[in-house]
A and B are shown apart, each in its own frame.
Chain A
Amino acid sequence: MDFLDKTALEIGGLIRQKELGVVEATRHALERIEETEPQVNAYIQVLEEQALAQAGTVQKRIDSGEALSPLAGVPMGLKDNICTKGIGTTCGSRMLEGFRPPYSATVAKKLEDAGAVLLGKLNMDEFAMGGSTETSWFGPTKNPWNPGHVPGGSSGGGAAAVAVGSAFYALGSDTGGSIRQPCSFCGISGIKPTYGAVSRYGLVAYASSLDQIGPMGRSIQDCAAILSLLEGHDNRDSTSVQRPPLDFSRSFGGDVNGLRIGVPKGYFGDGLDADVKEPILRAAKMLESLGAVVEEFDLPIADYAVPAYYVVACAEASSNLSRYDGVKYGFRSEAGDTLQDVYYNSRSEGFGIEVKRRIMLGSFVLSSGYYDAYYKKGLQVRGLIQQSFQHAFEAYDMILSPNAPTTAYKLGENISDPLKMYLGDIHTVSVNLAGLPAVTVPCGFGKGGLPVGLQLIGRPFDEPTLVRAAHAFQMQTDYHKQHPQLAKGGNAK
């Protein structure tokens, strides 16, 4: 069986039809992990014993006739900022090295109930702050299409694992593009759900009003199936929305006739690399040829999304990360004797420089004297951005754009220029600020064979329409079926 060619739903189907055992699928995945990890470093922790034991349990449940989800028995990975009871959850940071939460995130429990098999915890930028997975305390993840390049971030581990086949799907988190951009850089599909669609309980918070957990997989159909398992109101998360489940029943017919797709002119200016622009515009043409109405338009205020995002995200992060003080859990420095020493030293030694930078920026924009000009202003600009999208959605059903201005850049290229890194978020952050859903699917390749992803942004809770368009695209293309060839040892096919 060629596992690399199978989607999660296909594997789930084979398991349900008893053509494949859960333990067998899990073993394969574990072998693939062993094969690829030396080059890719997608995982912070691999749970070999536990995964096999869990696989056995799931197999028993299936054998006993228990009705499980279409993804039952499929091995997957969780980004390491999603709490798993009794299992190390580090957020890619020294600060939480060794931390074992006494509870699981709601999404982790939902997947476990649905029969998923947890292979391990996936690498990420420290506390989800970054776009390249280079700030992880556990070393960077490499892009399997070219290991000298970044996989994107902050959910780089998940994107790389799915791309290289060391997980059939992964859960990531997206605060400013952290699912979409790595999916784009690694040539896989992903969804950032509408804010509040998926419970944040158990997701270690970065920016509370922006964070969402979402699926990363081999096809948009896989991602929709995963999202259906994750979504729903949670009494433990006041910001999760009470509404009926997302209805994907009409998302897989391939019909995009009459769908109105807007293409913001501002996203296609000089800042966009030609080798990204081309595949994106070709994809737009493809959708047009399928019957969609594709049109250029102006999305005002979009330029201000990045500064507004960094103000809001860093402010919330600076507060969310204050709890890491060496008192109750996590890293405590040996240096010093006083209480203040515990605070200063534990935090200074436990956090990396990017996290420290964002905390300080956040403290600044909230500090008295600057609050109105920065934080309050940022929240107001958020309102303007939301209005801008609302206006756009009067004319269009969705907005088409790149996920990033470039393909995956080289490791080390941007890490010492934070502002340059931040500017790379230009296509993704406005979506989080407005709370909107967005999907990404691979749509081509740029220089050096590095993948390019197409982003579709939709109205709140209109994931089904986005999936419909993305799936129609995938029915006509095979970018999502292509896999990276790892140099030595890791054979793609």
Chain B
Amino acid sequence: MTYELVAGLEVHVELSTASKIFCGCTTAFGGEPNTHVCPVCTGMPGTLPVLNKHVVEFAIRTGLALNCSITPYHKFDRKNYFYPDLPKAYQISQLYLPICQSGSLEIPGAANKRIGIHEIHMEEDAGKLIHDPWDDCTLVDYNRCGVPLLEIVSEPDFGSADEVVAYLEKLWEILMYLGVSDCKMQEGSMRADVNVSVRPVGSSELGTRTEMKNMNSMKAIHRAVTYEAQRQIELLDGGGKVMQETRRWDDNKDASFAMRSKENAQDYRYFPEPDLLPIKIDTGWIEAIRSDMPELPEEKRSRYQREFGLPEYDTQVLTSARELAYLFEEVTALCGKPKEVANLIMVELMRLMRDSDTLPENLSIDAHKVAALIRLITDGKINRNVGKDLLDKIYHSDVDPEAYVKEKGLMMLDDDDLVAKAVDAVLADHRKSVEDYKGGKDKAFGFLVGQAMKALKGKANPQTVNRILREKLER
């Protein structure tokens, strides 16, 4: 019997709004325990939630990017259960009428498969529980309580672990570009609940599924999906039955484990939240948000190829982070030299960022200065080596390129006489190399060029040096 895998994902995304969903406390990550809280987000008696408008806008923006329909009239519901990380003992979420429905996301691959998105809803995050081994107790920190979440629920359309990861990567990229979340999986601002089941190939019924919650690493998710499918297949092959349960993925042991069974399946007693008013979204609001949507990475890549003739690989690198793409676009708009800009960013700038451990989100460089640098090179005013150093100076010290070049006298030397003089001196000093070259060693040519450039303090136009050196050597 051959089986196929069927998986679904519920991705929780923490929104990067300035304040929490129902109160004004900050959503900043970390902080000393219970220093980002107030009576509302800690569920004190008599407090009431008030909805952050930005959360609604982020939800609509995300829904539009994922081809969803926006529910014109929707509301919040209470999900009731007892757990120490939930101060009100209910979570304000949306069950009956979520804000977005019926969307889809195409994942790259041979078949360009479309994964259905069942719904997207808004809800509040819970606090954090810290196990204290000294007192064998649990400590509760409510800083995260009330941070706005979008839950993106897929249809059970995944057929492999690869598809799951492809979807997550694309979703991650889209959310980053929309600016709705910083999507830092390691900080928990993007996490996934994975549902896995198997069924005989060709069957249209879904098998019993298990769930692994709060997974925050793509690699672990891939391993977990693969393992769990296999575990279920072996179980069924051996005559057993798959239990519908929540399992814990242990990445160190590379296996999933049944969690200590809680009481009977939770009855959350969902009912509409009476403390919040329902939400009406008119088409005007939706269109305003749609017209304000940032261009998504896939569109950018297509456009870069079309408009600028950049190869696909380049477009991938340039769009690997929103900030790089914006910089590329801004600089190109200023100097009109897309290929130059692309190369500068991909080779030189990213090297500088790597060397200084700078993440794209912290990149701070003046696009005008970079554009000026590009123009200096393409106008033939400086050579590329000088350009490389100049970028370093712009990156670290924000120097003005034109002023700096003038001050340091870095203008490219293109005076034939000066170059000829220097070349003559080099040829005189390195007779052996000349002989080597004449004897067929091409490498010697490069050496001589290098020496000449050095003599000219690196400012010479390399093409001129090449030309003059070659002329003299031919004679």
State yes or no: do A and B touch (Cβ within 8 Å): yes
Interface residues, chain A, with chain B CB atoms under 8 Å away: 81-83, 89, 91, 96, 99, 101-103, 105, 200-205, 208-209, 235-239, 315-316, 318-319, 322-323, 325, 327-329, 339, 343, 363, 366-368, 371, 375
Closest to A321 in B: B89
Closest to A240 in B: B48
Pick the residue among A81, A82, A209, A322 that contacts B88 (CB under 8 A).
Answer: A322
Closest to B269 in A: A366
Pick the residue among A237, A238, A325, A368 that contacts B89 (CB under 8 A).
Answer: A325
Q: Please measure, in the bound complex, the distance between the C-alpha atom of A407 and the C-alpha atom of B271, giving whole angstroms.
A: 37
Q: Please measure, in the bound complex, the distance between the C-alpha atom of A432 and the C-alpha atom of B288, giving whole angstroms.
A: 39
In the assembled complex, the CB of A266 is this many whole angstroms from the nearest CB of chain B, namely 28
In the assembled complex, the CB of B180 is this many whole angstroms from the nearest CB of chain A, namely 23
Any A CB within 8 A of the CB of B138 = yes
Any A CB within 8 A of the CB of B440 = no
B88 near A208 with CB under 8 A, answer no
Which of B42, B44, B51 has most A Cβ within 10 Å?
A: B44
B45 near A239 with CB under 8 A, answer no
Closest to B83 in A: A339
Q: Please measure, in the bound complex, the distance between the C-alpha atom of A205 and the C-alpha atom of B46, giving whole angstroms.
A: 6
Q: Which residues of A contact B47 (CB under 8 A)?
A: 103, 201-202
Pick the residue among B48, B271, B277 that contacts A315 (CB under 8 A).
Answer: B271
B274 near A105 with CB under 8 A, answer no
Q: Please measure, in the bound complex, the distance between the C-alpha atom of A368 and the C-alpha atom of B140, giving whole angstroms.
A: 30
Q: Please measure, in the bound complex, the distance between the C-alpha atom of A339 and the C-alpha atom of B269, giving whole angstroms.
A: 22
In the assembled complex, the CB of B305 is this many whole angstroms from the nearest CB of chain A, namely 48
A238 near B43 with CB under 8 A, answer no
In the assembled complex, the CB of B123 is this many whole angstroms from the nearest CB of chain A, namely 16
What are 28 sample pairs from A and B whose C-beta atoms fall under 8 A apart?
A: A82-B46, A89-B45, A96-B45, A101-B44, A101-B45, A105-B46, A200-B48, A204-B45, A205-B45, A238-B49, A239-B48, A239-B274, A239-B277, A319-B90, A319-B271, A322-B80, A323-B87, A325-B89, A327-B87, A328-B42, A328-B43, A328-B44, A329-B45, A339-B84, A339-B138, A368-B269, A371-B271, A375-B271
Closest to B43 in A: A323
Q: Which residues of A contact B48 (CB under 8 A)?
A: 200-201, 236-239
Any A CB within 8 A of the CB of B169 = no
Q: Please measure, in the bound complex, the distance between the C-alpha atom of A201 and the C-alpha atom of B39, giving whole angstroms.
A: 11
Q: Which residues of B contact A82 (CB under 8 A)?
A: 46
In the assembled complex, the CB of A490 is this many whole angstroms from the nearest CB of chain B, namely 33
Any A CB within 8 A of the CB of B275 = yes
Q: Please measure, in the bound complex, the distance between the C-alpha atom of A135 and the C-alpha atom of B396, giving whole angstroms.
A: 72
Closest to B82 in A: A343
A91 near B274 with CB under 8 A, answer no
Q: Which residues of B contact A343 (CB under 8 A)?
A: 82
B45 near A316 with CB under 8 A, answer no
Any A CB within 8 A of the CB of B276 = yes
Given contacts A236-B48, A319-B78, 20 further A-B contacts (CB under 8 A): A83-B45, A99-B45, A101-B44, A101-B45, A200-B46, A201-B48, A202-B46, A315-B271, A319-B89, A322-B80, A322-B88, A323-B45, A328-B42, A328-B44, A329-B44, A339-B84, A343-B82, A366-B269, A367-B269, A371-B269
Any A CB within 8 A of the CB of B50 = yes
Pick the residue among B49, B80, B84 that contacts A319 (CB under 8 A).
Answer: B80
Q: Which residues of A contact B269 (CB under 8 A)?
A: 318-319, 363, 366-368, 371
Q: Which of B244-271 contact A (CB under 8 A)?
A: 267, 269-271
Q: Please measure, in the bound complex, the distance between the C-alpha atom of A14 and the C-alpha atom of B269, giving whole angstroms.
A: 55
Q: Which residues of A contact B42 (CB under 8 A)?
A: 328
Q: Which residues of B contact A201 (CB under 8 A)?
A: 46-48
Closest to A99 in B: B45
A236 near B50 with CB under 8 A, answer yes
Closest to A362 in B: B269
Pick the residue among B88, B138, B275 that contacts A323 (CB under 8 A).
Answer: B88
Closest to B89 in A: A322
In the assembled complex, the CB of B122 is this many whole angstroms from the nearest CB of chain A, namely 15
User: Is chain B's interface secondary structure helix, strand, loop, or mixed overall?
Assistant: loop
Closest to B265 in A: A368
Q: Please measure, in the bound complex, the distance between the C-alpha atom of A96 and the C-alpha atom of B46, giving whole angstroms.
A: 12
Closest to B79 in A: A319
5 smallest CB-CB distances across A and B, nearest first, come from A322-B89, A366-B269, A208-B274, A209-B274, A204-B45
Q: Which of B30-48 contact A (CB under 8 A)?
A: 39, 42-48
Q: Please measure, in the bound complex, the distance between the C-alpha atom of A99 and the C-alpha atom of B46, giving whole angstroms.
A: 12
B46 near A316 with CB under 8 A, answer no
In the assembled complex, the CB of B212 is this many whole angstroms from the nearest CB of chain A, namely 23
B274 near A83 with CB under 8 A, answer no
In the assembled complex, the CB of B37 is this many whole angstroms from the nearest CB of chain A, namely 10
Residue-wise, chain B 320-363 has the 8 Å CB interface mask toward A (1 for contact) of 00000000000000000000000000000000000000000000
Residue-wise, chain B 59-87 has the 8 Å CB interface mask toward A (1 for contact) of 00000000000000000001010101001
Q: Which residues of A contact B44 (CB under 8 A)?
A: 101-103, 328-329
A323 near B89 with CB under 8 A, answer yes
In the assembled complex, the CB of A312 is this many whole angstroms from the nearest CB of chain B, namely 9
Quick one: given A238-B51, A367-B269, are A91 and B39 in contact (CB under 8 Å)?
A: no
Q: Please measure, in the bound complex, the distance between the C-alpha atom of A418 and the C-alpha atom of B49, giving whole angstroms.
A: 33
In the assembled complex, the CB of B35 is this many whole angstroms from the nearest CB of chain A, namely 14
B267 near A367 with CB under 8 A, answer yes
A238 near B275 with CB under 8 A, answer yes
Q: Please measure, in the bound complex, the distance between the C-alpha atom of A367 and the C-alpha atom of B88, giving whole angstroms.
A: 18
Closest to A89 in B: B45
Pick the residue among A101, A315, A375 that contacts B46 (CB under 8 A).
Answer: A101
Q: Which residues of B contact A96 (CB under 8 A)?
A: 45
A366 near B271 with CB under 8 A, answer yes
Q: Which residues of A contact B51 (CB under 8 A)?
A: 238
Q: Which residues of A contact B89 (CB under 8 A)?
A: 319, 322-323, 325
Closest to A375 in B: B271
In the assembled complex, the CB of A291 is this many whole angstroms from the nearest CB of chain B, namely 41
Quick one: given A319-B78, A325-B89, are A239 and B50 in contact (CB under 8 Å)?
A: no
Q: Please measure, in the bound complex, the distance between the C-alpha atom of A366 and the C-alpha atom of B44, giving whole angstroms.
A: 23
Closest to B49 in A: A238
Q: Which of B75-114 contact A (CB under 8 A)?
A: 78, 80, 82, 84, 87-90
Quick one: given A329-B44, A339-B138, A368-B267, are A238 and B82 in contact (CB under 8 Å)?
A: no
Q: Please measure, in the bound complex, the distance between the C-alpha atom of A323 and the C-alpha atom of B42, giving whole angstroms.
A: 10
Q: Please measure, in the bound complex, the distance between the C-alpha atom of A329 and the C-alpha atom of B44, giving whole angstroms.
A: 8
Q: Please measure, in the bound complex, the distance between the C-alpha atom of A82 and the C-alpha atom of B89, giving whole angstroms.
A: 21
In the assembled complex, the CB of A315 is this many whole angstroms from the nearest CB of chain B, namely 6
Pick the residue among A103, A325, A366 that contacts B39 (CB under 8 A).
Answer: A103
Q: Please measure, in the bound complex, the distance between the C-alpha atom of A238 and the C-alpha atom of B49, giving whole angstroms.
A: 7
B46 near A102 with CB under 8 A, answer no
Closest to A203 in B: B46
A83 near B46 with CB under 8 A, answer yes
In the assembled complex, the CB of B146 is this many whole angstroms from the nearest CB of chain A, namely 14
In the assembled complex, the CB of A395 is this many whole angstroms from the nearest CB of chain B, namely 31
In the assembled complex, the CB of A216 is this many whole angstroms from the nearest CB of chain B, namely 20
Q: Please measure, in the bound complex, the distance between the C-alpha atom of A126 and the C-alpha atom of B46, giving whole angstroms.
A: 15
Q: Please measure, in the bound complex, the distance between the C-alpha atom of A124 and the C-alpha atom of B228, giving whole angstroms.
A: 56
Q: Which residues of A contact B140 (CB under 8 A)?
A: 327
A325 near B82 with CB under 8 A, answer yes
Closest to A207 in B: B274
Q: Please measure, in the bound complex, the distance between the C-alpha atom of A83 and the C-alpha atom of B45, giving whole angstroms.
A: 8
Which of A235, A239, A323 has most B Cβ within 10 Å?
A: A323
In the assembled complex, the CB of B347 is this many whole angstroms from the nearest CB of chain A, namely 53
Q: Please measure, in the bound complex, the distance between the C-alpha atom of A371 and the C-alpha atom of B78, giving whole angstroms.
A: 14
Q: Please measure, in the bound complex, the distance between the C-alpha atom of A318 and the C-alpha atom of B87, giving whole angstroms.
A: 15
Residue-wise, chain B 269-296 has the 8 Å CB interface mask toward A (1 for contact) of 1110011110000000000000000000
In the assembled complex, the CB of A382 is this many whole angstroms from the nearest CB of chain B, namely 12
In the assembled complex, the CB of B141 is this many whole angstroms from the nearest CB of chain A, namely 12
A322 near B46 with CB under 8 A, answer no
In the assembled complex, the CB of B275 is this many whole angstroms from the nearest CB of chain A, namely 5
In the assembled complex, the CB of A203 is this many whole angstroms from the nearest CB of chain B, namely 6
Q: Please measure, in the bound complex, the distance between the C-alpha atom of A328 and the C-alpha atom of B42, giving whole angstroms.
A: 8
Which of A203, A236, A315 has most B Cβ within 10 Å?
A: A236
A238 near B50 with CB under 8 A, answer yes
Q: Please measure, in the bound complex, the distance between the C-alpha atom of A371 and the C-alpha atom of B267, giving whole angstroms.
A: 11
A328 near B267 with CB under 8 A, answer no
